[in-house]
């Protein structure tokens, strides 16, 4: 069975698509569904090492939110910028030198097949795939748009559209994006306002305006959340008064893997320093990774007096990967793996670094020992992390006085390291993801998603006595009439929502009917209960566990009764009498057969007439009757 899919589009970059996707994944995980993240193409220098290679940090975090192992299929294309006009292409976790040499337009034909294969694999293996878009879906100069519209089309996805209130102009951004989506508007289930601060009543008039202009509901507004979580471009630290002294991360132009320092936003008075003055007074300096150390060296050289003075006072510094490479004697890149040439380093480490085409990408788990001075408090700790670098020539760990240099990313994410350096642990990712999902469930109306996707609290029918989170439906009868393939069953599913019992009257007497039954079964929500009953509708109604019952269909039911020499009119009256006693809402589906050619065979004419009488009885008892024509519901 192919999974359903939900796309999370944004009005632009940085509006919160990544974290909204993570929160939705955790929400759906809570419902008992097996869910997976997907982003066709991500441009980021923040990556994690997983089984199969490397993937963007945002999708790694989203996999944690979903509670499933992260894997490169979830981010089949990762573009790691190398300056203004080039990128390293990581294809399904592995660097592709051939594609990296091509321009965007030249590489595009080579990517679509890989993306679609990865997506189809996830749709086979999971119940639901939540797909994060890239930038905006309405960059019309880039259409056909692969990471937004193409993948949504392939997955037959529904979509949400999110805007950042904090940036300003969110109402115009949502409406303008909707207007430019053209035929793709039909995918939209709702709008989400994100990162709101202030009086919500001032924003709420925008709900009515958007819904009136577009017909698309606003699902709600998320406030500015104070969660420090890894994001696509590192993490957006929001300064706060608490913390264990000042820690400065030197934010050079090509800094990478900044996401690994998310715990410091909670544990320290954190500064991302772009000038030496901003870093002054820090008790700990951190030199993070760099995508292009050779180009970041001139920028970092301006910090050399500060770094020397900091170390001379015995204050600790941590240099990770590219940060350590820049502190070496020299960086040698004869083959132009990153930037061809020889580049003198800052000379604080007694090594030379040589760039090699072979990239080290590996998870590591090791016991720290042999460290001295400030860093001796880490001895005896078993830590986990990852390596991801082209450079060679440095030890995995090396200490020069208060300076600790390492290839290992993720050191600060280890709770033991946090306790040793800061006296306490940061809030774990699990706790933060739970808070994120709590915020979504508190501030957004997610029921339209449940109904449209056929998803609910659990991926299995609710246990007897378990109540639906939706309000109970009004008891009574709804009748849906229409011709073959007019959309009756789909309309019944939309009216019923995620919690319903289906009374299926079809019997698989030949291959064609068996295939039809299997197709309808695959299209039904996984949360529905199915009772296969070709004759006794009244008895099945008593067995139904949900307050909403769909009968699909009366057409086959009448034929089944006639074959068994039972009276369809008497059985119809018996069933109609049982409906008010049951207290349930019944949605009955039937074919309208009175408007076609008069059948030539007497038996066929008798069947048509009896079904017409049955339809009339149901219509007389129903509160609502609809005629389905070409997928549109006409209320009678």
The residue annotated as part of the active site, out of 46, 389, 409, 546, is: 409
Residue 473 confidence (pLDDT): 79
C-alpha–C-alpha distance, residues 184 and 172, integer Å: 18
Residue 463 confidence (pLDDT): 37
Q: Are 550 and 502 in contact (CB under 8 A)?
A: yes
Summarised one tens digit per residue, pLDDT across range 605-617 is 888 899 999 999 9
Residue 53: which residues within 8 A CB-CB, separation 6 or more? 72, 90, 92, 93, 94, 361
Residue 583 confidence (pLDDT): 92
Answer yes or no: is pLDDT of 234 > 70: no
Give the total residue count for the chain: 636
- Chain centroid to Cα 350, Å, comes to 45
Answer yes or no: is pLDDT of 182 > 90: no
- pLDDT band for 522, please (50, 70, 90 cuts): low
Highest mean pLDDT among 448-452, 505-509, 512-516: 448-452
Q: DSSP code of 167?
A: G
CATH class of 476-635: alpha beta
**Where along the chain do its domains lie?**
4-40+108-228+436-453, 244-426, 476-635
Beta bridge partners of 550: 502, 587
Q: Are 220 and 444 in contact (CB under 8 A)?
A: yes
Beta strands 352-367 and 269-273 are unpaired
Residue 466 confidence (pLDDT): 39
Residue 468 confidence (pLDDT): 47
C-alpha–C-alpha distance, residues 615 and 264, integer Å: 68
Summarised one tens digit per residue, pLDDT across range 252-266 is 999 999 999 989 988
Percent of the chain with pLDDT over 90: 68
Mean pLDDT lowest for which of 81-85, 287-291, 410-414, 447-451?
81-85
Q: What SS3 state is found at 343?
A: strand
User: 244-426 adopts what CATH topology?
Assistant: Rossmann fold (3.40.50)
Phi, psi of 278 (to 5 degrees): -70, -25
Beta bridge partners of 409: 386
Catalytic site residue 409?
yes
Angstrom CA distances, 441 to 62, 447, 501, stand at 17, 10, 26
Residue 467 confidence (pLDDT): 43
Residue 532: which residues within 8 A CB-CB, separation 6 or more? 504
Residue 258: which residues within 8 A CB-CB, separation 6 or more? 46, 233, 234, 235, 249, 251, 272, 288, 289
The predicted model gives 536-552 an average pLDDT of: 93
- pLDDT band for 142, please (50, 70, 90 cuts): confident
The pTM score is 0.68
Answer yes or no: is pLDDT of 388 > 80: yes
Nearest to 593 by CA among 558, 623, 565, 566: 558
Catalytic site residue 46?
no
C-alpha–C-alpha distance, residues 281 and 199, integer Å: 38
Angstrom CA distances, 294 to 313, 350, 391, 406, 533, stand at 28, 18, 11, 18, 72
Q: What SS3 state is found at 114?
A: helix
C-alpha–C-alpha distance, residues 609 and 597, integer Å: 13
Terminal CA-CA length for the chain: 36
C-alpha–C-alpha distance, residues 557 and 552, integer Å: 9
C-alpha–C-alpha distance, residues 183 and 178, integer Å: 10
Nearest to 122 by CA among 62, 195, 182: 62
- pLDDT band for 242, please (50, 70, 90 cuts): low
Average pLDDT for the chain: 89
Answer yes or no: is pLDDT of 459 > 50: no
Highest mean pLDDT among 96-105, 402-411, 516-525: 402-411
The residue annotated as part of the active site, out of 46, 321, 389, 443, is: 321
Nearest to 527 by CA among 457, 460, 450, 446: 460
Q: What share of the chain is helix, strand, coil (3-state, %, to 5)?
A: 40, 25, 35
Q: Does this chain's domain 244-426 share its CATH topology with 476-635?
A: yes
- Tell me the CATH number of domain 4-40+108-228+436-453, given options 2.40.37.10, 3.30.230.10, 3.40.50.300, 3.40.47.10: 3.40.50.300
């Amino acid at each position: 069975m192919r999974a359903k899919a939900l796309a999370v589009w944004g009005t632009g970059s940085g509006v919160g698509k990544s974290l909204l996707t993570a929160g939705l994944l955790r929400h759906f995980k809570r419902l008992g569904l097996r869910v997976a993240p997907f982003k066709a193409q991500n441009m980021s220098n923040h990556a994690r090492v997983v089984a199969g290679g490397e993937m963007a940090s945002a999708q790694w975090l989203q996999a944690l939110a979903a509670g499933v192992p992260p894997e490169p299929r979830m981010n089949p294309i990762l573009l790691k910028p190398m300056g203004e006009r080039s990128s390293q292409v990581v294809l399904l976790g592995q660097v592709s030198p051939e594609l990296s040499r091509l321009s965007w337009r030249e590489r595009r034909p080579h990517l679509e097949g890989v993306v679609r294969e990865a997506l189809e694999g996830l749709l086979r293996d999971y119940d639901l795939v939540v797909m994060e878009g890239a930038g905006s879906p309405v960059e019309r100069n880039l259409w056909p748009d692969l990471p937004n519209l193409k993948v949504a089309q392939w997955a037959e996805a529904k979509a949400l559209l999110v805007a950042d209130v904090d940036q300003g102009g969110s109402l115009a951004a949502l409406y303008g994006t909707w207007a430019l989506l053209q035929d793709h508007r039909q995918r939209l289930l709702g709008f989400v306002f994100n990162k709101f601060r202030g009086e919500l009543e001032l924003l709420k008039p925008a709900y009515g305006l958007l819904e009136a202009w577009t017909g698309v509901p606003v699902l709600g507004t998320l406030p500015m959340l104070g969660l420090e979580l890894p994001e696509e471009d590192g993490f957006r630290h929001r300064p706060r008064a608490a913390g264990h002294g000042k820690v400065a991360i030197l934010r050079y132009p090509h800094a990478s893997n900044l996401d690994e320092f998310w715990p410091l936003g909670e544990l320290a008075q954190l500064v991302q320093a772009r000038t030496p003055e901003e870093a002054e007074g820090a008790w700990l300096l951190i030199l993070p990774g760099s995508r292009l150390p050779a180009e970041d060296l001139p920028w970092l050289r301006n910090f050399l007096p500060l770094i020397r003075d900091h170390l001379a006072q015995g204050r600790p510094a941590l240099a990770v990967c590219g940060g350590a490479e820049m502190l070496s004697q020299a960086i040698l890149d004869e083959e132009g793996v990153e930037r061809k040439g020889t580049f003198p380093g800052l000379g604080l480490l007694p090594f030379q670094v040589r760039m090699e085409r072979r990239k080290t990408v590996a998870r590591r788990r090791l016991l720290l020992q042999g460290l001295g001075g400030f860093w001796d408090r880490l001895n005896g700790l078993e830590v986990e992390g990852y390596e991801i670098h082209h450079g060679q020539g440095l030890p995995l760990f090396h200490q020069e006085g208060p300076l600790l240099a390492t290839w290992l990313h993720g050191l600060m994410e280890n709770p033991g390291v946090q306790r040793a350096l800061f006296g306490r642990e940061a809030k774990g990712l699990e706790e933060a993801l739970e808070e994120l999902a709590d915020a979504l469930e508190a501030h957004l109306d997610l029921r339209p998603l449940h109904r449209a996707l056929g998803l609910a609290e659990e991926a299995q029918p609710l246990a007897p006595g378990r109540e639906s989170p939706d309000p109970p439906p009004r008891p009574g009868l709804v009748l849906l009439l229409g011709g073959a393939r007019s959309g009756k069953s789909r309309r019944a599913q939309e009216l019923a929502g995620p919690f319903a019992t289906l009374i299926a009257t079809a019997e698989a007497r030949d291959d064609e009917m068996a295939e039809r039954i299997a197709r309808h079964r695959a299209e039904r929500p996984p949360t529905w209960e199915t009772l296969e009953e070709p004759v006794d509708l009244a008895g099945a109604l008593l067995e139904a566990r949900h307050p909403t019952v769909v009968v699909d269909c009366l057409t086959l039911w009448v034929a089944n009764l006639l074959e068994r020499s039972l009276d369809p009119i008497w059985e119809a009256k018996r069933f109609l009498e049982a409906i008010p006693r049951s207290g349930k809402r019944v949605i009955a589906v039937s074919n309208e057969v009175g408007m076609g050619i008069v059948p030539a065979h007497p038996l066929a004419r008798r069947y048509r007439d009896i079904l017409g009488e049955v339809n009339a009885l149901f219509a007389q008892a129903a509160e609502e009757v609809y005629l389905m024509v070409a997928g549109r519901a006409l209320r009678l």
